[in-house]
């Protein structure tokens, strides 16, 4: 039995056997074939090479038969030389064919991976923000990585394995029957003995494999949590380094122990197969030797049969377990399709208009909003294990109506959970309203292209996200063609250029994961520089100064003054000192508008705003 056949059988045995009982959705196979159509020319050549490889597998034993029967026994040196050269040439040709097969397999496989990953990535990018709030990032990445690779096996290694094994089996059995039906029948009768190690070792190997996956997942999760900046900081401040080390070592030890057990099982598996193959060869020589003495077959035929015998059991064992490989690959395809079939909640209308405005007006008209439930926005298989939601979300906004005039600042204030941040998410269509409408310059935002809508809106949040990249790359994310002078001007306006220019690498300084190399105030000012570089006509500030000290707040406020100048703005604030100068202040309470007016009007009204104002003791400068 060939080592390649043994490895393929071992890989199948270590796979999840439950997939062979899986039921595929109707149309899955047809859909899978559609991904192969762009590669049909390559598939045709791939198939021709597989057929050539199968033919070469039986050619060498037949040449050996001729070499012995017509060269060695008659002592014809010319035949011996000719046959030996032919065997050598066939070996070279077989190697070349295998290289070509590997190239076709890689070309088709990597092309399919590229197609699937690109399609899944683009589709996930289109999902609403609600999808990401529920989806477990690791599970989603697994779909893009592991399941896509599993899917590509269906059209490469699994396909080629089935075709190659079937062709090889037909040709080998046919040739062996032609040479000696007696030895062939005896060899096939030994197949149950050959499959015995597969049955005996398979179940234990599957158990070890599942445990190994689980332990590796735990170990990876531990490293992910401890090795990011926030996790490392928590461990330093609260954790016991010795205890952390002991827990990690315990998990690593379990992984190592299972690895040793799997290695020993694999060794027993190969030794069992090699031993049974040796037994089968001995029986073939015993039967064939008697037949050769009786003159029923030639010595060359006996050598050819025993050589073919080594190529018989590999395809038989592989085909006996092929259902697991096939269903595993098809299930991977189905898991990828599950993501691709998830419709985005926020969709752009066909023939949507492009927003073109410099200082727009914004109008919320009887807006109602309820956060979507899990079934509407995500897949159960992409969420971490949790109890199912028994009740739908309560209505967050209950008929909100207000208008923001061009070039003015409207502040949203109120208690936590009143709906302030929800409003900021509805304007750029991170979510869609449940009822009512939001319009910009009289146009319903659902009639606008998402690209033009979002390019017109700049947002600075409470905790602005920075990518683990250079300052310049984080700025260029807002405007990919920005020049050095434009980036510098944005940084100057955002009160951050003095810091950037003082750094050894200036704009090429790495900011670290989520910007952890910068202070909170520095991150916010850099986020404001990014907003200024984008130069939007609408600005949303969501608690942009919530966690800053007085010095950083002063710098950020100066930067925000630049950001808001001449732009239609919505400012969400808990600290009322930051919105006292707003043109309009809207006070939210439990999803409704409790009050609206200027700072002076609301303080004198004695309502909720006046109560919040008194509670923060803002009668003197903060």
Degrees to nearest 5, angle at CA 252 with 249 and 257 = 120
Mean pLDDT lowest for which of 156-160, 211-215, 266-270, 605-609?
A: 211-215
pTM over cut 0.75: no
Q: Specify the pLDDT at position 400.
A: 93
Longest dimension (CA), the chain: 121
Residue 5 has pLDDT above 70, yes or no: no
In a domain, 384, yes or no: no
Q: Indicate whether 417 and 556 sit together in one domain.
A: yes
Contact present, 65 and 288 (Cβ < 8 Å) = no
- Burial level of 615, CB count in 10 A (0-12/13-18/19+)? exposed
DSSP string for 180-224: -HHHHHHHHHTHHHHHHHHHHHHHHHHHHHHHHHHHHHHHHHHHH
Residue matched to tokens 């939210």: 588
CB 446 within 8 A of CB 488: no
Q: Is residue 357 part of a domain?
A: no
What does the pLDDT look like over 436-451, one tens digit per residue? 999 999 999 999 999 8
Task: Provide the domain count of the chain.
Answer: 2
Whether residue 372 sits in one domain with residue 336: no
Reported confidence tier of residue 191, pLDDT bands at 50, 70, 90: confident
615 Cβ contact partners less than 8 Å away, ≥ 6 residues apart: none
- Is 80 exceeded by the pLDDT of residue 515? no
Distances from the Cα of 489 to the Cα of 384, 464, 470, 525, 526, angstroms:
45, 20, 17, 13, 12
Residue 215 in this model has a pLDDT that exceeds 90: no
CATH number at residue 69: 1.20.1560.10
pLDDT at 522: 84
Q: What is the pLDDT of residue 387?
A: 44
13 pLDDT higher than 60: no
- DSSP sequence for 223-235: HHHHHSHHHHHHH
Q: Are residues 405 and 323 part of one domain?
A: no
- Reported as a single tens digit per residue, the pLDDT across 45-76 is 999 999 999 899 889 899 999 999 899 898 88
Taking a C-beta distance cutoff of 8 angstroms, is the pair 529, 490 a contact?
Answer: yes
Contact 49, 101 (CB under 8 A): yes
- For residue 345, tell me if it sits in a domain: no
Range of the domain at 214: 3-340
Residue 144 forms part of a structural domain: yes
Distance of CA 319 to the CA centre of its chain: 31
Note whether 499 and 408 are same-domain residues.
yes
Name which of 325, 323, 315 is nearest 1 in CA terms: 315
Share of the chain above pLDDT 70, in %: 83
Strand, coil or helix: what is 171?
Answer: helix
User: SS3 of 166, please?
Assistant: helix
- Inside any domain, residue 348: no
Domain annotation covers residue 99: yes
pLDDT score, position 552: 65
pLDDT surpassing 80 at residue 302:
yes
pLDDT value for 558:
76
Confirm whether 350 is domain-assigned: no
Q: How many CA atoms lie within 13 A of 181 on its CB side?
A: 0
Same domain for 314 and 371: no
pLDDT for the residue 403: 94
The residue ranking higher by pLDDT, 587 or 33, is 587
Residue with token string 């520089």: 529
For residues 189-201, b (16+ Cβ closer than 10 Å) or e, as one string?
ebbeebbebbeeb
At 128-149, the pLDDT tens digits run 787 777 776 766 777 777 778 7
pLDDT at 19: 45
Residues 588, 466 share a domain: yes
Residues 348, 450 contacting (CB under 8 angstroms): yes
In this structure, the answer to whether residues 373 and 305 fall within a common structural domain is no
pLDDT at residue 619, rounded to an integer:
47
Q: Are residue 235 and residue 201 in the same domain, yes or no?
A: yes
Lowest mean pLDDT among 156-165, 384-393, 577-586: 384-393
Res 539 pLDDT > 80 = yes
| 268, 406: one domain | no
CATH of the domain at 459: 3.40.50.300
Q: Is the model more confident about 559 or about 298? A: 298
Instruction: Please tell me the predicted confidence (pLDDT) of residue 439.
Output: 95
Residue 361's pLDDT band (boundaries 50, 70, 90)? Answer: very high
Mean pLDDT of 572-601: 88
Strand bridging mode 435-440 / 443-444: antiparallel
What is the separation, in whole angstroms, between the first and last Cα of the chain?
Answer: 83
Question: Is 622 inside any structural domain?
Answer: no
Q: If you count them, how many residues does the chain have?
A: 622
Give me 116's structure tokens.
Answer: 């699937």
Convert the pLDDT of each residue in 223-250 to its tens digit: 767 776 667 767 766 667 788 888 888 8
pLDDT of residue 88: 93
Q: To the nearest whole number, what is the mean pLDDT of the chain?
A: 81
Average pLDDT over residues 150-169: 81
Supply the pLDDT for residue 622.
Answer: 41
Cα gap 588→267, rounded to integer Å: 70
Same domain as 196, residue 80: yes
State whether 370 and 329 are in the same domain: no
pLDDT class of 513 with cuts at 50, 70, 90: low
Q: How far is CA 482 from the centre of its chain?
A: 31
Of 14-28, 325-339, 490-504, which has the strongest mean pLDDT?
490-504
User: How far are the Cα atoms of 66, 67, 85, 287, 299 from residue 82, in angstroms, in the given order?
Assistant: 10, 8, 5, 30, 19
Q: Are residues 8 and 103 in the same domain?
A: yes
């Amino acid at each position: 039995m060939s080592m390649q056949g043994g490895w393929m059988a071992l890989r199948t045995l270590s796979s999840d056997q439950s997939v062979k009982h899986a039921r595929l959705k109707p149309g899955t196979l047809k859909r899978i074939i559609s991904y192969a159509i762009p590669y049909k020319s390559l598939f045709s050549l791939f198939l021709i090479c597989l057929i050539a490889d199968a033919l070469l597998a039986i050619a060498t034993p037949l040449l050996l038969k001729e070499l012995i029967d017509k060269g060695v026994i008659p002592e014809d040196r010319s035949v011996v030389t000719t046959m030996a050269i032919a065997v050598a040439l066939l070996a070279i040709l077989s190697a070349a064919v295998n290289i070509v097969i590997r190239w076709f397999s890689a070309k088709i496989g990597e092309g399919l991976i590229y197609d699937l990953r690109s399609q899944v990535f683009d589709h996930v990018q289109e999902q609403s923000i609600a999808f990401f709030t529920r989806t477990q990032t690791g599970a989603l990445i697994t779909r893009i990585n592991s399941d896509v690779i599993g899917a590509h096996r269906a059209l490469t290694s699994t396909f080629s394995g089935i075709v190659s094994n079937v062709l090889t089996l037909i040709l080998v059995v046919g040739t062996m029957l032609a040479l000696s039906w007696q030895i062939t029948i005896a060899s096939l009768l030994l197949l149950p003995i050959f499959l015995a190690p597969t049955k005996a070792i398979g179940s234990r190997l599957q158990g070890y494999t599942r445990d190994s996956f689980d332990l590796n997942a735990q170990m990876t999760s531990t490293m992910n949590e401890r090795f990011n900046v926030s996790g490392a900081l928590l461990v330093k401040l609260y954790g016991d380094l010795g205890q952390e080390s002991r827990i990690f070592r315990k998990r690593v030890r379990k992984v190592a122990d299972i690895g040793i057990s799997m290695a020993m099982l694999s060794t027993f598996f190969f030794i069992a197969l090699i031993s049974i193959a040796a037994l089968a060869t001995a029986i073939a020589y015993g039967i064939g030797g008697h037949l050769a003495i009786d003159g029923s077959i030639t010595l060359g035929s006996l050598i050819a049969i025993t050589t073919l015998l080594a190529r018989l059991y590999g395809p038989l064992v592989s085909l006996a377990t092929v259902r697991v490989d096939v269903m595993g690959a098809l299930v991977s395809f189905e898991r990828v399709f599950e993501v691709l079939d998830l419709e985005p909640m926020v969709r752009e209308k066909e023939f949507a208009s492009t927003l073109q405005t410099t200082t727009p007006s914004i109008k919320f008209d009887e807006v109602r909003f309820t956060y979507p439930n899990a079934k509407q926005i995500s897949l159960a298989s992409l969420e971490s294990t949790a109890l199912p939601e028994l009740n739908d979300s309560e209505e967050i906004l209950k008929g909100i109506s207000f208008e923001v005039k061009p070039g003015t600042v409207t502040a949203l204030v109120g208690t936590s959970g009143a709906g302030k941040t929800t409003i900021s998410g509805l304007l750029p269509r991170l979510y869609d309203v449940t009822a009512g409408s939001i319009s910009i310059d009289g146009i319903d935002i659902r009639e606008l292209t998402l690209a033009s809508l979002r390019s017109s809106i700049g947002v600075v949040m409470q905790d602005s996200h920075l990518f683990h990249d250079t300052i310049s790359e984080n700025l260029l994310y807002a405007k990919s063609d920005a020049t050095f002078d434009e980036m510098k001007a944005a940084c100057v306006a955002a009160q951050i250029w003095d810091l950037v220019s003082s750094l050894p690498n200036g704009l090429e300084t790495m900011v670290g994961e989520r910007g952890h190399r910068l202070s909170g105030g520095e991150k916010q000012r850099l986020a404001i520089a990014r907003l200024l570089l984008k130069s939007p006509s609408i600005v949303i500030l969501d608690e942009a100064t919530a966690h800053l000290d007085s010095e950083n707040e002063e710098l950020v406020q100066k930067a925000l003054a630049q950001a808001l100048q001449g732009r239609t703005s919505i400012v969400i604030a808990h600290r009322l000192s930051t919105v006292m100068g707003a043109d309009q202040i809207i006070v939210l309470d439990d999803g409704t508008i409790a009050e609206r007016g200027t700072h002076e009007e609301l303080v004198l009204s004695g309502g909720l705003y006046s109560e919040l104002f008194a509670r923060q003791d803002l009668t003197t400068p903060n």
